[in-house]
Structure 1
């Protein structure tokens, strides 16, 4: 059968067929209100994947773990649900001084992720069987792993233990089908920076430098950008020592016909969303504005935009995003499907505008 052109505009979360008849949205927007997480993504075969999920609630009280016994040595082990639960009991309280959002580190949640094969890492176990440190990764959408740690629960051998944990954690994910490990939460006094590269400046959503460990060989490539982020690109590419052919584009948006589509991942519990261009169209500015207004109505506080800078149609959106209040925060080598992944962030303001 010959291919049939479809109107994909209904795949936008902010799609509204008739504003006079329906001011609340239809389809995916309504469906997304009944779940904790919603995602629309396109794979390498250009097939669309819709994901709806409701997170299990882990709200059991977490008692404070007893102090670690004095130890002479430690060994590195792979996490099991049982050892990760023991680690989580210490980490849950340890993390309060680093990140106020402790829900991610609930012992029952970490144990469940380990049992499901969704947590990779290493633990430092002392001769008495206690967990004295941890470093681990959890997959995010797409090809990116979110790194956590190293976290060290003892005052002894902190830097050496942190290096051992980071090294073994990265070795565990080295052959998995991911582009890299992005780490933002860790113990600052012993973080082994020599294993990572800085992913960019300070993000508006935090105060720490983000660190990235690429998992793919970097053979160089094209990096498209526009004048409004030239300083960020020059600084970051130089700092990361990337072999790139930088191409400064005109500010005019990429010409396209028909409606555009943004892929959206919505996390209602964390009040944040992630967007990426799925299909270029002639209505990208109005489409983006509609999404931002809808996110504001839904109580979303933080919006991230992911752009693959090897794709001209995505890089051409940079002036529009700057106009809407987005700022570049991270550049991840090889993080896109074809090239480097640029992450921009914007805080939601009033009436869908970005603060």
Structure 2
């Protein structure tokens, strides 16, 4: 990690730009992407100078993630108008306040991902992320794979077999059953090298690839499983069982509290994982608790309490549900949502970054955009570990979102996944 601390003065903006550009290139980002990240940093630094933070310091850090570069900017304030980071943001060029936000709008469009957190001192931290460029799998790369023999072994995948598995899974399975990174074999290989993902493969006696699975962390307490994938031996449950057993043994040596599989394949053997979704919810999600549940506190809007109580009873998860109400306290006017779009699946997932009194309007604007983009599967994830996220519940329900499942320990506490239901 490289770091820089500068005064919030216009004279130091070039210093911030040079730092972001040089650090990103030094950590492996290509020239074009590094320049984009540099310009995003410039816009944020300039905005902070324009709004009158003179006398304060801006901390900028550059972090290499193996397959991405992150610029982390600690803002010397606890509250700031950041509505320009919404995907649907539209600014009035005749409004001086909106003109101040223009730099933030540009910065948000220059990066691949961003999120907002708070420091221990309560200051806002802006995370700007730019991923390395990787070629996507081409149709002519998806060749059929011959399979011979009945014996097999399960092993940690080397880079060549990681890419082989990714190409094979994209060919044999629908996009709902694998992460988007599988469409970029170089990316998933770098993710494994950086420790952001793990891949196991089943290999035949001649070295042929028979199947595999992958998993990655969601937050600090939960692991998400992708698979199990069987290629030419889908009738052999012993391969799937050995893959899953090896995966569980590996995860059991970590600090993970739960294993989740939101889109399991039909190859997942019985007896290893339990149903996470109710019987009438499709597609089925599975999970397994890796340690005995000792309970936790979660925060909920009153309109969501009945769903939570029912699901927690069904899943035998002890939770202390604390309700969040509006007692007239002052609230920020504008909310901020992050948006992850998967165009292959025609799906989008929204996650709150900041609350505001415009929650319903903000959600509605995003839904209008998704309708124009012809996205068919729309989800909203709320973290029950953050009381402020409860403000989004009434707006979500009014706009047709329905709570579908709880993901234990997948955030600060549990996550609730809402799905937009047509005609609701």
Which residue of 246, 268, 286 corresponds with 1:211? 286
Matched, 1:9 2:88: no
Alpha-carbon distance in 2 for matches of 1:323, 1:317: 10
Alpha-carbon distance in 2 for matches of 1:316, 1:296: 24
State the Cα deviation string for residues 297-336 of structure 1 (Å, max 9, x = none): 5665544322122433322431221012211122011222
How much is the aligned-residue C-alpha RMSD, in angstroms? 4.0
Aligned-pair distance for 1:67? Answer: 2.7
8 Å Cα contact 2:152-2:205 kept in structure 1: yes
Q: Comparing 230-239 with 315-324, which one deviates more in the overlay?
A: 230-239
**Counterpart in 2 of 1:64?**
143
Alpha-carbon distance in 2 for matches of 1:226, 1:88: 41
Which residue of 163, 175, 183 corresponds with 2:261? 183
Q: Secondary structure at the match of 1:40?
A: strand
**Counterpart in 1 of 2:269?**
192
Matched, 1:308 2:380: no
**Counterpart in 2 of 1:79?**
157
**Counterpart in 1 of 2:45?**
none
Distance change in 2, residues 1:167/1:193 (3 Å): same
**Counterpart in 2 of 1:39?**
114
Q: Comparing 81-90 with 263-272, which one deviates more in the overlay?
A: 263-272
8 Å Cα contact 2:216-2:224 kept in structure 1: yes
Alpha-carbon distance in 2 for matches of 1:175, 1:70: 33
Alpha-carbon distance in 1 for matches of 2:175, 2:418: 27
**Counterpart in 2 of 1:329?**
404
Structure 1: unaligned runs, 5 residues or longer: none
Matched, 1:265 2:339: yes
Distance change in 2, residues 1:18/1:256 (3 Å): same
Between the two proteins, the alignment pairs up a number of residues equal to: 342
Aligned-pair distance for 1:277? Answer: 2.9
Q: Secondary structure at the match of 2:196?
A: coil
Alpha-carbon distance in 1 for matches of 2:116, 2:259: 20
Aligned-pair distance for 1:143? Answer: 6.6
Alpha-carbon distance in 2 for matches of 1:266, 1:155: 34
Aligned-pair distance for 1:66? Answer: 3.5
Distance change in 2, residues 1:95/1:12 (3 Å): same
TM-score by length of 1: 0.76
TM-score by length of 2: 0.66
* Equivalence map 1:91-240=2 (5 Å): 91-96=169-174, 104-105=182-183, 107-139=185-217, 145-155=223-233, 158-174=236-252, 180-188=258-266, 190-201=267-278, 207-214=282-289, 218-226=293-301, 228-240=303-315
State the Cα deviation string for residues 161-181 of structure 1 (Å, max 9, x = none): 212211222333445576644
Q: Secondary structure at the match of 1:83?
A: helix
Bigger RCO of structures 1 and 2 (CA < 8 A, at least 6 apart):
1
Aligned-pair distance for 1:245? Answer: 2.3
8 Å Cα contact 1:40-1:263 kept in structure 2: no
Q: Secondary structure at the match of 2:82?
A: helix
**Counterpart in 1 of 2:351?**
276
**Counterpart in 2 of 1:346?**
420
Alpha-carbon distance in 2 for matches of 1:246, 1:6: 28
